[in-house]
Chain A
Amino acid sequence: MLVVVVVVLVLAARPAPTKGVSDQRAFALATQLKCLQCVGESVGASQAPLAVKFRQEIDRQLRQGRTDDEILNYFAQRYGRQVLETPPSTGVGALVWVVPVVAAAGAVLVLAATFRRWRREQQGVAPSEEDEALVARALADRRDGDGAAS
Chain B
Amino acid sequence: MNRALGLGGLVLGLGGAFLGICAVLVGLRSGRKELVRLSRPYAGVVLFGAVLSVVAMQRGLITRDWTLKYVAEHGSSTTPPLYNVATMWSALEGSILLWGLVLAGYTVAVATKFRKRLEDPLVGWAMVVMFVVCVFFFALMLTAANPFRGNLPPPGYDGPGPNPLLQNHILMAFHPPMLYLGYVGFTVPFAFAIAALVTGRVGEGWLVETRRWTLFAWGFLTAGIILGSWWSYEVLGWGGYWKWDPVENASFLPWLTGTAYLHSVMVQERRGLLRVWNLSLLCATFSLTILGTFLTRSGVVESVHAFSGGAVGPILLGAFAVVVLVSVGLVGWRGDQLRAPGRIDSPLSREGAFLANNVLFAVFAFVVLLGTVFPLVVEALNGDRLTVGVPYFNRMTIPIGFALLTLMAIAPVLPWRKASGELLRDRLWWPAWAGVAAVVLGALAGADGVAPLLAFGLGGFAAGSAVRQLVLATRRQGVRGLVGRANGGMVVHLGTIVVAVALAASGSFIRTAEFELRPGASAVIAGHTVKYLGSRSVDRPNRVELRARFQVDGGKVFEPRLNKYRLTGQTIGTPSVRVGPLEDVYLALTRAPGTSNPAVGVRVIVQPLVVWLWVGGMVMVLGTVLSLFPGRRRNPLDPVSAPPVPEAQEAGPEPSGAGAVTA
Contacts and interface: CB of A to CB of B under 8 A. Distances in A.
Say whether A associates with B: yes
Interface of A: 8-16, 23-24, 27, 31-32, 34, 39-42, 44-47, 80-88, 91-93, 95-97, 99-100, 103-104, 107-108, 111, 115, 118, 121-122, 135, 138-139, 141-143, 146, 150
5 contacts: A40-B246, A85-B388, A87-B389, A92-B378, A139-B639
A135 B644 CA distance: 10
Most B CB contacts (10 A, CB to CB) among A85, A95, A107 go to: A85
Interface of B: 236-238, 240, 243, 245-246, 302-304, 306, 343-345, 347, 355, 359, 362-363, 366-367, 370-371, 374-375, 378, 381-382, 384-392, 394-396, 398-399, 402-403, 449-451, 454, 476, 508, 511-514, 573, 590, 635, 637-639, 644, 648, 651-652, 658
Most A CB contacts (10 A, CB to CB) among B345, B371, B387, B395 go to: B387
A61 B648 CA distance: 71
B370 A39 contact: no
A16 B509 CA distance: 11
Nearest to A149: B635
Given A47-B237, A87-B386, A115-B344, A12 B451 contact: yes
B512 A23 contact: yes
Given A39-B306, A83-B387, A115-B344, 15 more contacts: A10-B399, A12-B451, A12-B454, A13-B395, A15-B395, A32-B391, A41-B243, A81-B385, A84-B386, A85-B388, A85-B389, A85-B390, A88-B386, A96-B392, A107-B362
Contact of A23 (B394, B403, B513, B651): B513
A122 B635 CA distance: 28
B186 to A, nearest CB: 23
B382 A13 contact: no
Contacts of A16: 449, 451, 508
B240 A45 contact: yes
Contact of A87 (B237, B388, B573): B388
A13 B651 CA distance: 46
A86 B389 contact: yes
Nearest to B393: A85
Contact of A34 (B359, B389, B403, B508): B389
Contacts of B392: 85-87, 96-97
Contacts of B573: 47
Most B CB contacts (10 A, CB to CB) among A99, A139, A141 go to: A139
B384 A142 contact: no
Contact of A39 (B304, B366, B402): B304
Contact of B512 (A27, A81, A138): A27
B391 A138 contact: no
Contacts of B371: 96
Contact of A13 (B237, B386, B451, B644): B451
A138 to B, nearest CB: 6
A147 to B, nearest CB: 11
Contacts, number: 150
Nearest to A23: B513
Nearest to B389: A85
B381 A92 contact: yes
The 3 A-B pairs of least Cβ separation, nearest first, read A85-B389, A45-B238, A9-B399
A130 to B, nearest CB: 15
Nearest to A86: B391
B359 A107 contact: yes
A124 B370 CA distance: 43
B389 A44 contact: no
A138 B637 contact: yes
Given A40-B243, A42-B243, A86-B391, A100 B396 contact: yes
Contacts of B245: 40
B651 A143 contact: yes
Given A8-B454, A24-B512, A142 B637 contact: yes
A83 B386 CA distance: 8
Contact of A107 (B363, B388, B449, B652): B363
Contacts of A150: 476, 652, 658
B344 A142 contact: no
Nearest to B246: A40
B389 A122 contact: no
A81 B386 contact: yes
B384 A92 contact: yes
A95 B388 CA distance: 12
Nearest to B477: A150
A94 to B, nearest CB: 11
Nearest to B511: A24
B450 A84 contact: no
Contacts of A47: 237, 573, 590
B246 A93 contact: no
A109 B590 CA distance: 52
A42 B390 contact: yes
Nearest to B344: A118
Contacts of A80: 385
Contacts of B512: 23-24, 27, 44
Nearest to A82: B385
B238 A104 contact: no
Contacts of A121: 343
A96 to B, nearest CB: 5
A149 to B, nearest CB: 9
A85 B639 contact: no
Nearest to A28: B512
A7 to B, nearest CB: 11
A111 B387 contact: no
Contacts of B390: 31, 42, 85
B243 to A, nearest CB: 7
Given A96-B392, A111-B359, A150-B652, A87 B374 contact: yes
Contacts of A118: 343-345
Contacts of B384: 81, 91-93
